[in-house]
């Protein structure tokens, strides 16, 4: 029998004989020890079964080994760091001094000869053991290793594959050298490096366009923007923030010592067989430096017009603009609406051997073969306006200006379009007619706009419904009445909404598509511009002339089942332009007409509340008083920017997953005072879905369930950064050690064998919650 087992049996015998613990408590501590991977005496103390002083006194009396008061002794950091953090915590040891060829080591259990032998092998020194209180050893470990203990707790349950993140230098990228640097061994590299690699790898995996690392007073949020939606994927202790920021600054070749001013840089990585350009921006805030990384896939090809999701009518109108030999057109929309993608697709379309195509951009996002691309450089004095003047001396046929930001750039671009060049650019406006007002506000003369403008393309990006889980439903009738006034739909029209499954990461959406508002500037609109007509008048005419508004374009995608009404209303404002459409043929009609002049359909309008006939000019129903205008209340699915489920529930939240209703009820009763919200699931699939959507503060998970076992659920949770930190307690009827060990192997924080008492479960949950609070506490201790 080994020395460790002999000593453990003597300690257990002493504790039982002296009445310090009961046989049941000792059995539970042994069970907990397998998951905690720490000395039995430390687990007994942590669970509150014995006082650490009792064990210390017994060891002191039994062993006669000298005692060290670590609080009064200066721990030599060089000696302490001879032993890895994980080994020190698992075995309750810390070296505190080197004397010749001897290493002085404080141990919570100095009789464990196996640990002493391993210490000798790890350090190369002869080990002189000293007895110390476990709490003082743990405090000394935390003082010496500082961030190491925190990062270990963060990383220990993460089973996300970093997909071999490698870094490519800026010079190699520009030189076109495709050779990747050697992949770092993340199993042995610096823990902070591994954490940053994991965050980047997961961002690439889920198709994130932006990565945010955002410090707050007590916590650091890691967020991804996926399909236009920003969502939190990790919450990290604030103590890690400086190290993470420093690592990212090193990658982007920024000054790690400068924390007072914003900085911008770039890094290039290779992951999942593709290369990515990382645009790094840091910003000093009151809680530290916030970091945002824009992720650009350098390996992806610019998509053609045929892949822009243009409807036949929209493609025809776009071709009518871009096939003109000269003139100017604008692509407008807010940041992140896909303007650059549309412009690059158009550039690819007009990029022919007989065309000289030149662009001026800030920055150049994608390299286009055969296109002369100019990067703005403000430090060197190369502005948009200066670059355009030079470009006009380069005999261009097509000129693309990244953005019209000022009067000088706008006027030069407009005049260039009037001298035989096709000029395209972008602007930040909400819709197509507003682009005219934007140019006027900048200072461009009306006659220049009217003479040069060919058209305006406004666009937005809508999330696509996941084809694997979308379901049909019937929207509220009031909402249907509103959208029918914008674009009529056929009887029996099916509407779909998001549900959520593994294929779409439980969001209900996967990927995005563009919707367009393409305004052709014809002679009438030119006259309206010269006459100073406002945006609304131009919009009214453009729709009557055949233009789909952004909302109408989005409705066509809703009717096709590609997206949901909820998503459309979140992104695009439903405009009330007093334009009436025939419900039969969809043509614009005057409000006083009783019949459609296009198809002869009888026109009638009814109050969506009481059903009585009303005139479209009425603001309120004269029968019931319902608001017939923009303020008509919409149902929940039509409200824009609804908060996510995670944001609406009260915390702390407990998720119970067990197919036995009586077990769920018992757990709920036992823990109802510890949690403000308790959610139940009776199968593994629903449990996984709730966990991904709600991010519970604690999860009690049964092993044997239909659909998906607890082991499978736990493994999937740990394979995603978003749920890797959710504390999980497994409930198992398996008595065999290998079954219990499997739970630990898939990342469970603890497990309890059935049958169990409610008091026992509550104690284990509270213990795990306390450990979680210590981990997430800001530097200086746990805040209330």
pLDDT in tens, 618-668: 545 655 555 554 333 333 333 344 445 555 678 889 999 999 999 999 999
Identity of the highest mean pLDDT range in 156-170, 398-412, 568-582, 589-603: 398-412
Q: Do domains 305-463+510-571 and 653-775 have the same CATH topology?
A: yes
What is the sign of the dihedral through the CA atoms of 89, 91, 97 and 100? Answer: negative
CA neighbor of 518 nearest in space, from 547, 487, 543: 547
Q: In what order do the strands lie in the sheet with 398-401?
A: 372-375, 357-361, 398-401, 422-427, 327-332, 453-465, 509-520
Confidence of residue 218 (pLDDT cuts 50, 70, 90): confident
Tell me the average pLDDT across 129-146.
84
**Range with lowest mean pLDDT among 367-371, 693-697, 743-747:** 743-747
Tell me the average pLDDT across 128-135.
90
Tell me the average pLDDT across 215-242.
91
Contact status, residue 550 vs residue 459, Cβ threshold 8 Å: yes
Residue 277, strand partner residues: 268, 296
Please give the span between the terminal C-alpha atoms of the chain, in angstroms, as a whole number.
Answer: 48
Fold of 305-463+510-571: Rossmann fold (3.40.50)
The three-state (H, E, C) secondary structure of 469-533, written as one string: CCEEECCCHHHHHHHHHHCCCCCCCCEEECCCCHHHCCCCEEEEEEEEEEEECCHHHHHHHHCCC
**Residue 129: what are its φ and ψ, rounded to 5°?**
-80, 145
> At 104, which helix (H) or strand (E)?
strand 102-107
pLDDT in tens, 614-628: 654 454 565 555 555
CA distance 648 to 199: 26
Contact status, residue 732 vs residue 739, Cβ threshold 8 Å: yes
Q: Within the chain, how many helices (H) and strands (E) appear?
A: 29, 26
Q: Does pLDDT of 130 surpass 60? A: yes
Q: What's the pLDDT at 155?
A: 76
CATH numeric code, 157-166+192-297: 3.30.450.90
Both structure tokens of 204 = 């690439």
CA neighbor of 305 nearest in space, from 358, 347, 368: 347
pLDDT in tens, 307-343: 888 999 999 999 999 999 999 999 999 988 999 999 9
Tell me the average pLDDT across 88-106.
91
pLDDT in tens, 147-156: 666 676 777 7
Share of the chain above pLDDT 90, in %: 45
Q: Does pLDDT of 728 surpass 90? A: yes
In eight-state DSSP terms, residue 707 is S
Q: Does pLDDT of 51 surpass 50? A: yes
CA distance 36 to 636: 46
Encode burial over 264-277: b for 16+ CB neighbours within 10 A, e otherwise. ebbbbbbbeeebbb
Confidence of residue 178 (pLDDT cuts 50, 70, 90): very low
Q: What's the pLDDT at 182?
A: 39
Fold of 653-775: Rossmann fold (3.40.50)
Q: What's the pLDDT at 44?
A: 83
Both structure tokens of 244 = 């993470």
Q: What's the pLDDT at 616?
A: 47
Distances, alpha carbon 125 to alpha carbons 67, 89, 131, 138, in Å:
20, 20, 18, 22
Contact status, residue 28 vs residue 47, Cβ threshold 8 Å: yes
Q: Does pLDDT of 586 surpass 60? A: no
**Range with lowest mean pLDDT among 387-401, 672-686, 764-778:** 764-778
Tell me the average pLDDT across 4-11.
62
In eight-state DSSP terms, residue 67 is B
pLDDT in tens, 550-572: 999 999 999 999 999 999 999 99
Both structure tokens of 195 = 């954490």
Confidence of residue 766 (pLDDT cuts 50, 70, 90): confident
**Range with lowest mean pLDDT among 86-100, 529-543, 575-589:** 575-589
Tell me the average pLDDT across 526-532.
95
More confident residue, 31 or 225: 225
**Residue 579: what are its φ and ψ, rounded to 5°?**
-100, 120
CA neighbor of 46 nearest in space, from 725, 766, 773: 766
**Residue 755: what are its φ and ψ, rounded to 5°?**
-75, 155
pLDDT in tens, 248-286: 999 999 999 999 999 999 999 988 788 899 999 999 999
CA neighbor of 576 nearest in space, from 636, 533, 632, 514: 632
What is the sign of the dihedral through the CA atoms of 186, 267, 205 and 164? Answer: negative
C-alpha dihedral, 334 to 338 to 339 to 345, nearest 10°? -170
Residue 266, strand partner residues: 279
Angle between helices 434-442 and 407-417 (to 10 degrees): 110
Q: What's the pLDDT at 184?
A: 45
Number of CB atoms found within 10 A of residue 707's CB? 14
Q: What's the pLDDT at 332?
A: 96
Contact status, residue 276 vs residue 207, Cβ threshold 8 Å: no
Tell me if the bond preceding 154 is cis, omega within 30° of 0: no
Fold of 77-146: GMP Synthetase; Chain A, domain 3 (3.30.300)
Tell me the average pLDDT across 718-740.
79
Contact status, residue 347 vs residue 304, Cβ threshold 8 Å: no
The beta-strand segments (E) located in 286-371 are 288-297, 327-332, 357-361
pLDDT in tens, 364-399: 888 888 999 999 998 898 999 999 999 999 999 999
In eight-state DSSP terms, residue 203 is H
What residue segments make up the domains of the chain, in order of their start? 77-146, 157-166+192-297, 305-463+510-571, 578-629, 653-775
Mean pLDDT value across the chain: 83
CA distance 647 to 521: 45
> At 359, which helix (H) or strand (E)?
strand 357-361
Q: What's the pLDDT at 54?
A: 81
pLDDT in tens, 416-462: 999 999 999 999 999 999 999 999 999 999 999 999 999 999 999 99
Tell me the average pLDDT across 471-488.
88
**Residue 613: what are its φ and ψ, rounded to 5°?**
-60, 140
Q: What's the pLDDT at 280?
A: 96
Q: Does pLDDT of 241 surpass 70? A: yes
């Amino acid at each position: 029998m080994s020395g460790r087992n002999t000593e453990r049996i003597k300690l257990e015998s002493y504790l039982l004989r002296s009445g310090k613990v009961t046989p049941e408590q000792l059995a539970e501590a042994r069970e907990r020890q397998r998951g905690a991977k720490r000395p039995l005496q430390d687990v007994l103390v942590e669970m509150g079964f014995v006082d650490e002083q009792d064990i210390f006194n017994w060891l002191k009396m039994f062993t006669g080994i000298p005692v060290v008061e670590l609080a009064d002794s200066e721990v030599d950091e060089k000696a302490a760091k001879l032993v890895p953090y994980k080994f020190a915590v698992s075995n309750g040891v810390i070296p505190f001094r080197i004397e010749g060829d001897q290493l002085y080591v404080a141990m919570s259990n100095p009789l464990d000869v196996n640990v002493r032998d391993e210490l000798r092998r790890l350090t190369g020194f002869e080990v002189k053991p000293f007895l110390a209180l476990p709490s003082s050893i743990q405090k000394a470990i935390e003082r010496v290793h500082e961030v190491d203990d925190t990062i270990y707790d963060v990383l220990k349950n993460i089973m996300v594959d970093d997909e071999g993140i490698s870094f490519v230098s800026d010079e190699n990228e520009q030189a076109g050298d495709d050779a990747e640097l050697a992949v770092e061994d993340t199993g042995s590299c610096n823990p902070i490096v591994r954490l940053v690699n994991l965050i980047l790898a997961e961002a690439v995996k889920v198709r994130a366009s932006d990565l945010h690392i955002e410090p707050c007073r007590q916590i650091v949020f890691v967020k991804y923007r996926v399909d236009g939606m920003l969502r939190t994927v990790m919450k990290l202790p604030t103590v890690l923030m400086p190290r993470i920021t420093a690592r990212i600054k090193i990658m982007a070749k920024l000054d790690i010592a400068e924390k007072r001013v914003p900085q911008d840089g770039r890094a290039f990585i290779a992951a999942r067989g593709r290369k990515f350009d990382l645009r790094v921006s840091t910003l000093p805030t009151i809680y530290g430096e916030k970091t945002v990384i824009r992720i650009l896939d350098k390996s992806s090809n610019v998509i053609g017009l045929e892949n822009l999701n243009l409807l036949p009518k929209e493609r025809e109108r776009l071709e009518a603009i871009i096939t003109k030999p000269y003139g100017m057109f604008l692509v407008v929309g807010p940041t992140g609406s896909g303007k650059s993608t549309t412009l690059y697709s158009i550039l690819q379309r007009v990029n022919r051997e007989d065309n000289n195509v030149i662009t001026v951009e800030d920055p150049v996002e994608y390299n286009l073969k055969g296109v002369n691309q100019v990067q703005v450089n403000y430090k060197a004095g190369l502005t948009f306006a200066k670059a355009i003047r030079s470009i006009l001396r380069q005999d261009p046929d097509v000129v693309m200006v990244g953005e019209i930001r000022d009067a000088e750039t706008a006027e030069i671009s407009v005049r260039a379009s009037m001298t035989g060049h096709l000029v395209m650019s972008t602007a930040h406006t909400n819709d197509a007619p507003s682009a005219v007002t934007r140019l006027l506000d900048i200072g461009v003369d009306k006659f220049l706009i009217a003479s040069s403008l060919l058209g305006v393309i406004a666009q937005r990006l809508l999330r696509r419904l996941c084809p694997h889980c979308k379901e049909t439903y019937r929207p509220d009738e009031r909402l249907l009445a509103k959208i029918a006034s914008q674009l009529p739909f056929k009887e029996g029209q099916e509407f779909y909404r998001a549900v959520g499954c593994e294929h779409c990461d439980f969001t209900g959406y996967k990927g995005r598509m563009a919707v367009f508002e393409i305004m052709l500037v014809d002679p009438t609109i030119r006259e309206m511009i010269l006459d100073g007509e406002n945006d609304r008048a131009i919009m009214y005419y453009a729709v009557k002339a055949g233009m789909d508004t952004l909302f109408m374009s989005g409705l066509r995608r809703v009717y096709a089942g590609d997206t949901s009404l909820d998503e459309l209303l979140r992104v695009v404002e439903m405009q009330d332009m007093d334009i009436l459409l025939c419900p039969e043929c969809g043509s614009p009609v005057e409000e006083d007409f009783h019949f459609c002049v296009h198809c002869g359909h009888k026109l009638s309008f009814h109050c969506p509340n009481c059903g009585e006939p009303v005139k479209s000019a009425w603001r309120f129903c004269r029968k019931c008083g319902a608001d017939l205008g923009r303020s008509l209340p919409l149902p929940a699915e039509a409200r824009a920017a609804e908060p996510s489920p995670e944001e609406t529930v009260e915390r702390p939240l407990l998720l119970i997953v067990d197919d036995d209703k009586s077990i769920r009820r018992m757990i709920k009763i036992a823990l109802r005072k510890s949690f403000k919200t308790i959610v139940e699931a009776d199968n593994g699939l629903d449990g996984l879905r709730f966990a991904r959507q709600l991010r519970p503060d604690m999860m009690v998970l049964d092993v044997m369930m239909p659909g998906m076992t607890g082991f499978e659920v736990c493994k999937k949770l740990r394979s995603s950064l978003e749920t890797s930190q959710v504390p999980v307690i497994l409930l198992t009827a398996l008595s065999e050690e290998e079954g219990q060990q499997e739970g630990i192997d898939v990342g469970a924080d603890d497990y309890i064998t059935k049958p169990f008492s409610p008091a026992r479960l509550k104690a284990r949950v509270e213990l795990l919650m306390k450990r979680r609070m210590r981990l997430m506490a800001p530097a200086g201790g746990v805040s209330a």
